[in-house]
Amino acid sequence: MSRHRIVRTMDYNDEYDGYDDIYGHSVEDEHCISPTDAQQWLYDRARGQQSISAFISKNKDIQEEEADEEEDAAFEKARRDSESFQMPQLDEIEQAKLSSCVDEVRSVVGDAVSERRIVETSMKFDYDMQKILDEILNEETKKSAKPSVNRMKAPAAPVLPKTVSKTVATPPPKISLKEPRRGFEIPSPKVPSSPVVSGRNTPVDISGDDISRSSATLFKVSKEQAVRNARQLYEKERADQKSHIHMIVIGHVDAGKSTLMGHLLYDTGNVSQRVMHKHEQESKKLGKQSFMYAWVLDETGEERTRGITMDVGQSRIETKTKIVTLLDAPGHKDFIPNMISGATQADVALLVVDATRGEFESGFELGGQTREHAILVRSLGVNQLGVVINKLDTVGWSQERFTEIVTKLKSFLKLAGFKESDVSFTPCSGLTGENLTKKAQEPALTSWYSGPHLLDVIENFKVPERAIDRPLRMSVSDIYKGTGSGFCISGRVETGVLCLNDKVLVGASREQAQVKSLTMNEFPQTSVFAGDQVSVTLPALDINNVTVGCIISDPQTPIPVTTRFQARIIVFNVKVPITMGFPVLLHHQSLIEPAVVCKLTASIHKSTGEVVKKKPRCLGNNSCALVELETSRPICIERYADFKELGRVMLRVAGVTIAAGMVTKIR
Amino acid sequence: MKLLGKYVDKGMQGNVTLMPEESEDMWHAYNLIAEGDSVRSTTIRKVQNETATGSSTSNRVRTTLTIAVESIDFDTQACVLRLKGRNIEENQYVKMGAYHTLDLELNRKFELRKPEWDTIALERIEMACDPTQSADVAAVVMQEGLAHVCLITASMTLVRSKIEVSIPRKRKGSVQQHEKGLAKFYEQVMQSILRHVNFDVVKCVLIASPGFVRDQFYDYMFQQAVKMDYKLLLDNKSKFMLVHASSGFKHSLKEVLQDPAVLAKMSDTKAAGEVKALEQFYMMLQCEPAKAFYGKKHVLQAAESQAIETLLISDNLFRCQDVGLRKEYVNLVESVRDAGGEVKIFSSMHISGEQLAQLTGIAALLRFPMPELEDSDDDDDEDGAAGGADSD
């Protein structure tokens, strides 16, 4: 009714009746506050690297997003203790020292000790970490009979005496240039060897970059998500399960990859007799009976009529100790982009070669896929390789042929950067099923071969270490309509852990979404971990903002988004040299994006890593260089030093892979 | 383009009257007109009249104006050229010095006066008026989930539409989703061809893709055409041509234009010629690096010793605002010609031209190796060369 009020004669004192009541009160949640005020209340890692726990105990006024957790009595008391605690008056340097010190201590002892206690102890020992910790921990054990054991699993190693303030960032891990390396042997990222089990899944300090990066972090997450202990969760959930491993099957076109896998699936009982019979009848009808096993994985009509795999086929088998996800890659040259997106998901690879005379040679010579695939998977970070000499029955299980192929491949694989101990050679036949899941029975073969059969080889693959403690990164490889509402995004969790109802950021647009359902192999899950192949339902997300190849990341440490970055590349055999302005296709995980080589920074020596020439005019065959790449659209990418999995790129031109590289700098 | 009159005196001063006839002529006009030139053309201007009583009326009149060009604006998609400048010839409607923006229109003549006509500009007129150079080709480069529908004219490659559809991958038990997605994608590409390709002008439609996508699409398109009775497609079935390309991205057009079958059909268009020339440059760089150079500094040095056999230069260098810089490039072109070399001016609207523009915009194949050039580049030179190109 305010329209009808007589404004002119209004008594303002009456109108602002309640004004005096509010005046002088603290700012409440529904009120707007100025940015400087907001800064005071908001958690910002850039300032002094405070941990969340320190923040919680210092600011009593902030409401928890989910305030329903039941904290144990001791913690409650400690919190109250610190509530009334005022920070002592110190000058700036002292303050910085103190806060870094408190932070360090917190990362070891967790929330169990009050802020006041830590501060007092720190001042007492003049910020000497070792002494402070001794003091506090000793007291703790004396005080309570139940120390927080899980928090102290790795107490000594990661705690370095650090007296300087943290704002003086530790230098980012540098790739040491001196030590000789060959092929793709590159130093792995500097991750603490025994991850700190500190009750937080955000890394405490990876590199100097992290500090500046997190300044943009204003995305809220639930407290549960923020302080989750990934390793513990993993141990709880997966302790009783077999370890997962992803295996990609690669090789020249018509080497028999799909048939081999189809037969393996059949022999391990993953394909029913009925289905197999159907395939047999149908393939017979088309006059392609030899394709009956391949049809297990080649499902689309196009693939079946043409008799070649076009997209990566997926299925899984269980061995005695492992669950193996098989990725059946296409061998045809035109489908290498599909193969690359499959290979980025793989931990180990199975290289299938055709032993038939002439066939092996054509696949192995320059331009053959045996060669390109092996180099590709190696540069995508696969270092365990099982070589299967297939179709050996066509040459009468001849040992000479086997050894001939093995010697040829051995020298090549060594050049490509595989360690000899990580490569195994197995003779078999995908069509007849010889030496597949049972020991060889063919007398011609048993006379000279007594090694393991294929399933054993797969069994013997080592499961690589999963980076569960790192922030979440998941690469999207497929988007499809799910059964329920919304659409499903499937992909591989590269690092970290993802739980139901977690908030995540999607792609370069950093759109926020909440995980509504998680499935792995059609089974719903509550949490998934690094290395898993999962489907995620994200409702209320614009489908146009999600593309194949984008990265889903943790809101607390979002993935960098850029259009320009520097990479260290190794140039393969190229027809024409790479110059500046060279248009390439950038392959990053499942992403394919046009890019331009916009600057050749330096060419470097292949084995020593020294700069040979600054700003070279062009890059020829087998050279190694630092270049800058620019994409037309922003992409999500990580430095190799931070995230091995997300720092690898491939450059392709006109259907040929011209270079592989690691991201060294992001603009 | 039609040349209606040309008066250029000994001092290379003068004016030229031209009539653009098709949209591509606008591109030529864009390359011809520089800031500081004066253009006379018919245009529509809103004129305000104040009556004796003080009320004002405004009406649009068609009038002929001459302006001194201050800024040039070219829309590549619509092929519209807009010139802004001050009026330099007063008439009854427009005062001296009043600003006006001329929209050059098709089939309306305009008169261009330049303080100095150089060879590049005169050549451009000749090229624009050459009626034989009109080989219009439409090309569809595609891969699963991505397609570009492009029109390739003599001096331009225009991306008419880009289609991006995320197609679900094949997965256990749900092949239909993949096939449905694919069909939806093909439908969109087909609609885009129907919308953007003018079959009266276009001589041939290239469908390029890796794998079997092109065959699948071709089959789909003509099945649909029969079903839905698309006369346009059925009548022009013979114009379609299937070519291999490694991906559905725009720069794989380069591969398409190098395909021997395409070359035979398109004979000698500028686009294909440029791709070939750039390829030659790269081959030379691979085999004899001392005989191929790029960057302004190296090329100028090579030109000084009369070593240049073929000069590749992007036309965006001639569009630069700096008169002195343009003159430098014009002199370079003339000196190379005088020394018996060949000059290829790339259109920056073609794929290869885009690449050349990225490669500092200037490159040269030499008659004899000059290794001393290669050695001389140590610290600062590439910056200078790159700077020259970036200024555009």
**DSSP-assigned states of every residue in B58-108:** EEEEEEEEEEEEEEEEEETTTTEEEEEEEE-S--SSS-TT-EEEEE--TT-
Best of B142, B166, B351, B375 to disrupt the A interface by mutation (most A CBs within 10 Å)?
B166
CA–CA gap between residue B284 and residue A637 (Å, rounded): 35
Find residue B50's DSSP bridge partners.
B56
**Residue B355 to residue A577, Cβ atoms within 8 A:** no
B60/B51 Cα distance (integer angstroms): 16
Whether the CB of B285 is below 8 Å from some CB of chain A: the reply is yes
B280 lies within 8 A of chain A by CB: no
Nearest to A380 by CA among A429, A345, A419: A345
Neighbours of A240 (CB within 10 A): 6
Residue A279 forms beta bridges with which residues? none
A517-523: Cβ within 8 A, 24+ apart: A517/A484, A521/A316
Residues from chain A contacting residue B250 (CB–CB below 8 Å): 594
**B contact test, residue of A261, A302, A521 with most B CBs within 10 A:** A302
Alpha-helical regions (H) of A183-288: 208-214, 223-226, 230-238, 257-267, 273-285
CA distance B226 to A562: 47
A335 CA: distance to closest CA in chain B (Å): 7
Sign of the dihedral through C-alpha A420, A421, A424, A425: positive
Q: Where are the beta strands (DSSP E) in chain B?
A: 2-8, 14-19, 38-50, 56-75, 80-87, 99-103, 110-114, 137-143, 146-152, 157-164, 204-209, 240-244, 292-294, 308-314, 342-346, 362-366
What is the Cα–Cα distance from A116 to A104, expressed in whole angstroms? 15
Helix (H) or strand (E) holding B195: helix B175-196
Is A334 close to B210, i.e. CB distance below 8 A? yes
Asked if B246 and A655 come within 8 Å (Cβ–Cβ), the reply is yes
Closest C-alpha among A624, A626, A630 to residue A586: A630
Q: Would you say A429 and A299 are in contact if contact means Cβ atoms under 8 Å apart?
A: no
Backbone angles phi, psi at B3, to 5 degrees: -95, 115
- Tokens linked to A532: 């898993």
Superfamily of domain A473-553: Translation factors (2.40.30.10)
Is the CB of A576 less than 8 angstroms away from the CB of B374?
Answer: no
User: Taking the complete model, does pTM exceed 0.90, yes or no?
Assistant: no
Which residues of chain A are within 8 Å of residue B287 when distances are taken between CB atoms?
none
Give the separation between CA B377 and CA A559, rounded to whole angstroms: 38
pLDDT at A485: 65
Show the domains of chain B with their CATH numbers.
2-48+58-129 (2.30.30.870), 137-266 (3.30.420.60), 270-366 (3.30.1330.30)
In chain A, which segments carry CATH 3.40.50.300? Answer: 243-460
CB-CB neighbors (< 8 A) of A314 in chain B: 171-172
Nearest residue on chain A to B374, alpha-carbon basis: A617
Q: Quick one: tokens of A356? A: 């038939």
| 3-state percent breakdown (helix, strand, coil) of chain B, nearest 5 | 40, 30, 30
Please give the Cα distance from B238 to B263 (Å, whole number): 17
Strands A243-251 and A348-354, bridge-based pairing: parallel
pLDDT of B192: 92
Provide the β-strand partners of residue A540.
none
Contact A576 B285 (CB under 8 A): yes
Given an 8 Å threshold on Cβ–Cβ distance, is B358 in contact with A596?
A: yes
Residue A475 phi/psi, 5-degree rounding, is -100, 135
When computed from its CA atoms, the radius of gyration of chain A, rounded to whole angstroms, is: 29
Cβ-contact A248, A327 below 8 angstroms: yes
pLDDT at position A627, please?
92
Cα–Cα distance measured from residue A606 to residue A177, given in angstroms and rounded to the nearest whole number: 10
Q: Which helix (H) or strand (E) holds A178?
A: none
Radius of gyration from C-alpha coordinates of chain B: 25
- According to DSSP, the β-strands at A487-495 and A473-481 are antiparallel
CB-CB: which of A314, A490, A581 is closest to B355? Answer: A581
Residues of A in contact with B178 (CB under 8 A): 300
Q: Check if the beta carbon of residue A658 is closer than 8 Å to that of residue A578.
A: yes
Closest CB from B172, B252, B279 relative to A314: B172
**How would you classify the pairing of strands A527-529 and A656-666?**
unpaired
pLDDT of residue B107: 86
User: Is B289's CB within 8 Å of A617's CB?
Assistant: yes
Question: Tokens at residue A125, please?
Answer: 């020992």
Question: Which residues in chain B have their CB less than 8 angstroms from residue A313's CB?
Answer: 170
- Which regions of chain A carry the CATH code 2.40.30.10? 473-553, 561-666
Q: Which 125-144 residues of chain B touch chain A by CB within 8 A? A: 143
| Burial of A279: CB neighbours in 10 Å, binned 0-12, 13-18, 19+ | buried
CA distances from B172 to B45, B132, B166 (A): 66, 56, 18
**Nearest residue in B to A549, CA atom:** B166
Strand order in A348-354's β-sheet?
Answer: A313-318, A322-328, A243-251, A348-354, A384-390, A423-427
Most A-contacting residue of B159, B215, B246, B280 (CB-CB within 10 A), to test interface: B246
Mutate to test the interface with A, among B159, B163, B171 (most CBs of A within 10 A): B171
- Which amino acid makes up residue A127? Y
Q: Does B255 touch chain A (CB under 8 A)?
A: yes
For A314, phi then psi, to 5°, come to -125, 140
- How far B318 CA sits from the closest chain A CA (Å)? 19
Report, at the CATH architecture level, how domain A243-460 is classified.
3-Layer(aba) Sandwich (3.40)
Inter-chain contacts counted by CB atoms under 8 A, chains A and B: 116
Judging contacts by C-beta atoms under 8 Å, the chain A residues touching residue B210 are: 334-335, 337, 655
Is the CB of B243 inside 8 Å of chain A's CB atoms? no
Identify the three-state secondary structure at position A571. strand
Q: In the CATH scheme, what is the homologous superfamily, with its name and number, of domain A561-666?
A: Translation factors (2.40.30.10)
Residue from A506, A591, A601, A617 whose CB has the most chain B CBs within 10 Å, to mutate: A617
Q: Within a 13 Å sphere around the CA of B35, how many CA atoms are in the beta-carbon half?
A: 12
User: Which of A186, A125, A133 has the alpha carbon at shortest distance from A159?
Assistant: A133
Q: How much is the pLDDT for B222?
A: 92
The first and second tokens of residue A45, run together, are 């890692």
| Record: contact B168-A478, CB cut-off 8 A | yes
Question: Residue B359 is nearest to which of A335, A579, A615, comparing CB atoms?
Answer: A579
- Answer yes or no: are the C-beta atoms of B224 and B189 closer than 8 Å: no
* Contact residues, chain B, for A582 at CB < 8 Å: 355, 358-359
Per-residue pLDDT of chain B in tens (392 residues, 90 and over written 9): 888 888 888 888 888 999 988 878 888 888 888 888 999 999 988 888 888 888 888 888 889 999 999 999 888 777 888 999 999 988 888 888 899 998 888 888 899 998 888 888 888 888 888 766 566 788 999 998 899 999 888 778 888 899 988 888 877 667 788 888 889 999 999 999 998 888 888 888 999 998 888 999 999 999 999 999 888 888 988 889 899 998 888 888 888 888 888 877 776 667 788 888 888 898 888 888 888 888 888 898 888 888 899 999 998 888 877 778 888 888 899 899 888 888 888 988 888 888 898 888 899 999 888 888 777 655 444 444 443 334 33
> Which site among A311, A579, A600, A630 would you substitute to test the B interface, given the most B Cβ atoms closer than 10 Å to its Cβ?
A579
Q: Is B358 on the interface with A (CB under 8 A)?
A: yes
Q: How far is Cα B30 from Cα B25, in angstroms, rounded to an integer?
A: 8
Distance from CA of A327 to the nearest CA of B (A): 11
**Which chain B residues are closer than 8 Å to A479 by Cβ?**
166, 168
ipTM of the predicted structure?
0.79
The residue ranges of chain A whose pLDDT is under 50 are 19, 22, 27-28, 48-52, 54-56, 58-60, 62-85, 145-217
Residue among B97, B102, B127 nearest B24 (CA): B127
> Among partner residues A299, A332, A583, which is closest to B251 by beta-carbon distance?
A583
- CA A473 to chain B, closest CA, distance in angstroms equals 21
Instruction: Inform me whether the C-beta atom of residue B279 falls under 8 Å from chain A C-beta atoms.
Output: yes
Q: Write out A417-432 in H/E/C secondary structure.
A: CCCHHHEEEEECECCC
Contact A548 B356 (CB under 8 A): no
Using an 8 Å CB-CB cutoff, list chain A residues near B388. Answer: none
